[in-house]
Structure 1
Amino acid sequence: MTPSPAVVQPDQELIVEILDELSLDHTFDTEGDLAISTAELTIFFLFGSEGDLFTVRTFYDRNYSVDDKPTLLTALNEWNADTMWPKVYAFTPDNGVIRLIGDAQLYIGAGVTREHLTTIIAHWVRFSIKFHRWLADRLAFESD
């Protein structure tokens, strides 16, 4: 009988190790949150307050006007229906500018294998970037 792979309890240190292995440049923000930051987006690696939820949250840096909301929501619904992650939603702060945020979450309360965690991080980062490119193409098509 083949032994089961070891289960680990992910923490920020392990995520840093995995990002290094994947050759993904990362940084820490002023609050100590681990992130990948580019001109187009910032991807944060977060843990729930209970320690049982791992979230990869992407803030897309392009702002949209309220006039763009119907087109954006149609595109977001299309993406969310056709893809597993990240689930992307529109957020409108008090200034009326629409921001897009993507979320992917994994329950880690019982632990996960390191291999699974590495695979998840690689895919979630790739698809967070893929969404940015997909939306740019989708909106360009919409305006043609």
Structure 2
Amino acid sequence: MVNPLRRQPAPVGPDPARLVPHPLDAARVREYLTGQGYSVAVDEDGDLTGTWDGDRFWFMLLGEKKEILQVRGRWQRTLPPGRRAAALLAVNDWNRERIWPKVYLRDEEDGTALYAEVSVDLEHGVSDAQLAQLVACGLGTGVQFFSALGGLVPEDPAG
């Protein structure tokens, strides 16, 4: 039988310091990613970038004060014009049925590219725990979308 008067240890929770909001900066994003064991680099535009499951992702700070975090991914395949309609259907279905990530097509020189984005305005700061959740959301939902695309937009047998 449980004795209700017996003192129970306090539940263990996150470190309170991880819950205090601090200004967003690229060093914090990089620290989180490398702390998770991910390999990232800085591209020619100064954005953090890396590859997950063959798909390129960028971690950009946008806005006048660099207060908006955007996790943007590009699917590794570029589609020929004949596959654009199938991709558009997949994108519309995804955006209608899910909140994250926002997905879209972009016509590029060599065909149609598919992108996934999660953007959050962090003007008032972000705690370490929130930053971890936001980056994980951007990466996780982007990878999920790109993985689903393989079945929704199969390879063109004609090449």
With normalisation by structure 2, the TM-score equals: 0.78
When you count strand as a share of all residues, which structure comes out higher?
1
Corresponding residue number in structure 1 for 2:68: 53
Q: Computing the radius of gyration over CA atoms, which structure comes out larger, 1 or 2? A: 2
Shift of 1:134: 0.6
The worse-fitting range, judged by mean Cα deviation, of 13-22 and 31-40 is: 31-40
Please state if 1:81 is matched with 2:96. yes
**Residues 12-59 of structure 1 deviation map (CA, whole Å, 9 limit, x = unaligned):** 100011102222221122332211125731100001141221111112
Q: Distance in 2 between the 1:33 and 1:123 partners? A: 18
Question: What percentage of residue pairs aligned between the two structures are identical?
Answer: 22
Q: Is the 8 A contact 1:42 1:59 kept in 2?
A: yes
Q: Is the 8 A contact 1:40 1:62 kept in 2?
A: no
**Residues 68-127 of structure 1 deviation map (CA, whole Å, 9 limit, x = unaligned):** 12111111111112222221100013x361111111100111112210111111121122
Out of 29, 41, 51, the residue aligned to residue 55 of structure 2 is 41
Q: Distance in 2 between the 1:62 and 1:39 partners? A: 12
Q: Is the 8 A contact 2:24 2:122 kept in 1?
A: yes
Please state if 1:128 is matched with 2:127. no
Corresponding residue number in structure 1 for 2:31: 17
CA RMSD of aligned residues (A): 2.1
Q: Distance in 2 between the 1:123 and 1:35 partners? A: 16
Please state if 1:106 is matched with 2:116. no
Q: Is the 8 A contact 2:61 2:68 kept in 1?
A: yes
Out of 123, 126, 130, the residue aligned to residue 116 of structure 1 is 130
- Structure 1 segments, 4+ long, off by >4 Å, are none
With normalisation by structure 1, the TM-score equals: 0.85
Describe the SS at the equivalent of 1:10.
coil
Counterpart code for 1:15: V
Corresponding residue number in structure 1 for 2:8: none
Counterpart code for 1:66: P
Shift of 1:7: 0.8
